[in-house]
Structures are given as structure tokens and as C-alpha cells.
Structure 1
Amino acid sequence: MRADGWHLTDDVDEFLAAAGEFLRARPVPHVMALTWAARLQARGTGPYGGGRPLLGLLSRAGSVRGACHRLPGRGLGLTPLTAAQTDSLAAHLAALGHALPSVGGDRDTTAAFATAWQRHTGATPTPAVRLRLRRLDTLTPPRPAPAGRAAAAGEGEREQLIDFCRGFAADVGEDVTIDAATWATTRYADKDYTFWQTPDGTPVSMAGLNPTVAGLAMVDPVYTPSAHRGHGYASAVTAAVTRAALDAGATEAVLFTNAANPTSNALYQRLGYEPVADWTTYTFA
């Protein structure tokens, strides 16, 4: 039995052996921890900068009560935690000399951690990204659907796919280089992609789908170039990949939206994706 407190490891198999049951019991709020752990198992650590991950679990009375994860070059991700739990994590990481560029998770947890991190390290937190986690209730595809069809992106369409992912990253302010040389090192390489094609075969929108973990499929990213927006392509391709995930055995589906974008929130609401929680990322000066 583990002693009470935070326990850190760089071994994803060890982490999942201890925390996997806890994470899988509530896959929706734990979606990011599950997704990144699955990526680590599939890839190893090399593509994420060559360093080792930081994976942590909080033990109380022999049970796991919370978890955290961080990959080289990325910020800290948190499962939902109480203010006292975030304070104990911040104190533990600070005592070990860790430096964090950012923290992400549900709004209340990250706000509490940001305050605790500033208290323990003096680092100044700044809210950087506000997202809304949405869970599928009943899938309602757009009617009528736009002209065209959904088509899986093949290897021969890698250049088009990279171009769309680069456009998505620019839209959301993600500081990443996406090209043929770096593709395998980015988070975008771990997904299955579907294009919405016009009747003449032109790709006009794209949706990615992460591997299903604990019965949960996460749609990400969804992107339509500005010249093709306003025609319902994003709704159609999102509905298509969601249906494909459910048909393949997923029992739940989630996605993230920009909390400040009423257009995208209304779009996914119409498809049947209901809000679950607001998520915030804080950067640390």
C-alpha cells in the first residue's frame, strides 16, 4: 500500500497500473490524462522531445484520489482536484525544483493550482486559454447535410492534412511547427482523420479522432479553412467522425470548444454535444 501523498514516476506502465482504474472510472473528466497516457504507451517518449514524462498520482488511505501528467516541453495537466490537493501538489513539485510553463485542467482546479504555485514559487499566473468540455448526449447530424461526403484521409493526402492542421494550430494560437519533418513529433500524428469533400472531391473541412480509451472517443481537431466556412462542413464532418466512433464501439464521445466562441458552441450544441465543464490553461511567468 502506498503512503498518503503524491507519488511521481516517469514510467507510464507503472502509472497506469496504479491509477488506471481511477482514471477509467470517470473517463470524461479524466479524458486528457487517459489520452496522453495512451499516446505514451503507443509512442514511447522520444517524439515528445527526448525527455521523460512526469506522471503523478495522489494516494489517500490506499486509494487513488487524483492524478497529474506532464510531457517534455509541455505544461502540467491535472485531473479534478480540491484546493487542498492542488496545494499539496504545488508544494511537492516546488520542493523538488520543478519549473512549469503552464497548467491545464478544469477551471476550479487550475485556478486553485495557479494560486498555490504562485504562493510556493513566486511565479505569476496568467489565464491563457479557456475551453469548454462537451459530452455527446444524442447525436443529431445536420439536416440537410451540405453537398459532398465524408472521406477518410489517406497517406496520399498527408500534405493536405498537414496544411489543415497547421491552419488549426494558428487559429487556436498553438505554438508548434507542423510540416513533413516534424509531423511525427506533434500531437496531431496520433489520430485518424476524415475530410468533408465537395462533390468534385475537394477537401473543405477536417475532423480528427483520437484512439478510443476506456470507451471514450475524443474528437480533435476540427478545422475548416476560412474560405469554406459558413456552409455547414464542420458540422457534417464532426457528425461523421462521431458516428464512426460510436459504430466502432465507443460508448461516449467528447470534444473541446473555445468557451468564448458562440458560433462553435452553438454548432456543437446542435449536434448533441452538451457542456460538461469549463477548462482553463494558466501560463507562468
Structure 2
Amino acid sequence: MRSDDWYLTEDVDDFLARAGGFLRSRPGAHVMQLTWAERVRKRGPGAFGAGAPLFGVLERGGEAHAAFHRLPARGVCPTPLTSGQAETLAARLAVDLPSLPSVSADHDTAVAFAEAWRRRTGATPTERDTRLRLYRLGTLTPPDPLPAGRGRVLGERDLEDVMFWCGEFAKAVGEDVDLDAGTWAGSRFADKRYTLWETPDGTPVAVAGMNPLIGGQVQVDVVYTPAHLRGRGYAGAVTAEVSRAALDAGARDVVLFADLSNPASNALYQGLGYRTLSDWSVYDFG
């Protein structure tokens, strides 16, 4: 396998024509490539900063075996790679993108690519402290009993509420974002559907979001309960609501990421029926 087996393009439709079937064959494992390709397709390549997104497909014998995407000024995010595939990708990108800042992928792929990049460029890879786990839903098992209250899906008229809850979530996880009517449409939060869990008197106590159905999978993304309301089952209830909605929408895989440093959230998702798909790592290149 050679570095020139990697086909690179800035055309998202070209990328999906070549890699779409491969990505949809394992939609949970390929959640990042499916999600960001669809965002670029819908919003346009200029919506993500100066420069164009870059996509790549590893092709042999007319078939796709791996893929990656890279947004402007960001790192590369490949599908799971063997060590040999990681080596050929590093060889190709060392020529095309020598100032690559990072790699973000399942842990084994991230390690393999980081080492290959070090050999190719001399850059020192440094693993970020934050480690994530990617979960895929098995059999949904809602909390029993559920906390008092109900789920309420937020619509277009609830934009102020949605921006407030997403802003609180972003602060809680350390995301530096400024969400208002002017910035909302360009944010990563804009294309999701949100559900609030409300107590019987209508007080909102937790939120969960889900991405659109893309390539057979739905990602549950943004799950948040204010600190003073935690431990009462609200997050489990609202996550079960959106997980069921994802299944009803036809998702073959329902996935979510959890911070491994938070044992409570990992236990919550496991209790709902989510099972480990892979651990996820990011390496920065000095």
C-alpha cells in the first residue's frame, strides 16, 4: 500500500461518491466523517473558516478502505486505520499538509498516526489530557422508575431557550463559544434537535440533543444537567428520550461520546444500554 493510494479532494460530493458506501458500512465508527461531510455539504465549504475542508479516501482496486476529513486550521480526523494505513497517510500528508496541528481518532489509530507523523516530520506528539469514550446503543433500557416529569421537544420558537442551555453546557465542558442570534447558525449546535426534561410544574431541569440521521446513525450530543440538580435521574430520563427518538427516526447506530474522567456519566450511559465502541484520543504536534 502506497501513499499515492490516498485520493485527496476539497469537493465533499466527490468524497461522498467515493467513500459514502464505506462510511455507511460502519456508521457508528465513522460518525465524525459522516457528520462533518454532511455539515460541509449543507452549509458550504466556506462556513468553517479561511480555506477549504479537505477529505481523503484510501482506494485500492476501486474500493474504499479508509477515509479522513480535515477542517481549515484543524487537525486530521481519520476513520480507524491499521498501522500500515496510518503510515501511508502520514507520508501523504507530510507532503501536502506539513504543518498539521493534530490528529483526532480512535485511540489505536491516533497512536499509530502520531508515531508515523513523528517519524516523517520530527514533530513531537503530545496526547491531550481529555480522553473520550465512544459508545453505541445496544438495547435501550430507560431508567425505572423515571423521575417525575416529562420530555418536551424544543422547536424554532424556543431558540432563546436552546441557546441558553447550549451555552450552559459549553461553559460546563470548557468550550469557548459565544452563542447568540448572529453566531448560532454557524455553530456546531445549530443542526441538532433538543429535548428538555421538565418537572410536573414545567420547570426545565436537563437537556439532551441529537444530530440528524446521517448515513444510518444518530449521534446524541449535548447532555447537560445544572450542577445543583444532578443525582436525581434527570439526565438519564432525557437521554433515554432522545435515544428512543433516534431509534424511531430509523437509526441503525445510536452513538455518543463521554468524558472518561467523569465516571457518573459513563455509568449513566452504560445503564441505559450503551456499550463501548472505542476510546478516543487527540495528539497535538509540537
Encode CA deviations 1:33-55: one digit per residue, 9 max, x unaligned.
Answer: 11111111221123211531110
Provide the residue aligned with 1:267 in structure 2.
268
Structure 1 CA distance for aligned equivalents of residues 249 and 18 of structure 2: 28
Q: Is the 8 A contact 1:127 1:283 kept in 2?
A: yes
Structure 1 CA distance for aligned equivalents of residues 172 and 74 of structure 2: 19
Identity across matched positions, percent: 58
Matched, 1:41 2:41: yes
Structure 1 segment 155-194 matched on structure 2, within 5 A: 155-194=156-195
Structure 2 CA distance for aligned equivalents of residues 284 and 145 of structure 1: 46
Matched, 1:239 2:240: yes
Matched, 1:116 2:124: no
SS of residue paired to 1:187:
coil
Provide the residue aligned with 2:85 in structure 1.
85
Structure 1 segment 215-234 matched on structure 2, within 5 A: 215-234=216-235
Which letter does structure 1 place at the counterpart of 2:190? A
How high is the TM-score relative to the length of structure 2?
A: 0.93
Encode CA deviations 1:204-225: one digit per residue, 9 max, x unaligned.
Answer: 1111111112221110011112
Provide the residue aligned with 1:257 in structure 2.
258
Which letter does structure 2 place at the counterpart of 1:267? L
Q: Is the 8 A contact 1:4 1:61 kept in 2?
A: no
Q: Which moved more, 1:3-12 or 1:73-82?
A: 3-12
Structure 1 segment 149-160 matched on structure 2, within 5 A: 149-160=150-161
SS of residue paired to 1:112:
helix
Matched, 1:15 2:15: yes
How far did 1:244 drift?
1.1
How far did 1:5 drift?
1.1
Provide the residue aligned with 2:31 in structure 1.
31
How far did 1:255 drift?
0.8
Structure 2 CA distance for aligned equivalents of residues 210 and 101 of structure 1: 27
Structure 1 CA distance for aligned equivalents of residues 10 and 35 of structure 2: 16
SS of residue paired to 2:271:
helix
Which letter does structure 2 place at the counterpart of 1:76? V
How far did 1:4 drift?
5.5
Task: Extract unaligned runs of 5+ from structure 2.
Answer: none
Structure 2 CA distance for aligned equivalents of residues 224 and 78 of structure 1: 32
CA 1:101/1:204 → structure 2, altered by over 3 Å: closer, same or farther?
Answer: farther
Encode CA deviations 1:71-119: one digit per residue, 9 max, x unaligned.
Answer: 1233211100011211211121111244222211110000111112222
Which letter does structure 2 place at the counterpart of 1:19? A
CA 1:12/1:127 → structure 2, altered by over 3 Å: closer, same or farther?
Answer: same
Q: Is the 8 A contact 2:98 2:121 kept in 1?
A: no
Q: Is the 8 A contact 1:48 1:186 kept in 2?
A: no
Which letter does structure 2 place at the counterpart of 1:260? S
Structure 1 CA distance for aligned equivalents of residues 285 and 34 of structure 2: 25
Which letter does structure 2 place at the counterpart of 1:190? D
How large is the RMSD of aligned CA atoms in angstroms?
1.7
Q: Is the 8 A contact 1:4 1:62 kept in 2?
A: no
SS of residue paired to 1:92:
helix
Structure 2 CA distance for aligned equivalents of residues 68 and 22 of structure 1: 12
Alignment: residue pair count: 283
Provide the residue aligned with 1:199 in structure 2.
200
Structure 2 CA distance for aligned equivalents of residues 101 and 168 of structure 1: 26
SS of residue paired to 1:190:
coil
Q: Is the 8 A contact 2:208 2:222 kept in 1?
A: yes
How far did 1:254 drift?
1.0
Q: Which moved more, 1:117-126 or 1:225-234?
A: 117-126
Structure 1 CA distance for aligned equivalents of residues 136 and 169 of structure 2: 21
CA 1:201/1:243 → structure 2, altered by over 3 Å: closer, same or farther?
Answer: same
How far did 1:131 drift?
0.8
SS of residue paired to 1:188:
coil
Structure 2 CA distance for aligned equivalents of residues 134 and 217 of structure 1: 12
SS of residue paired to 1:218:
strand
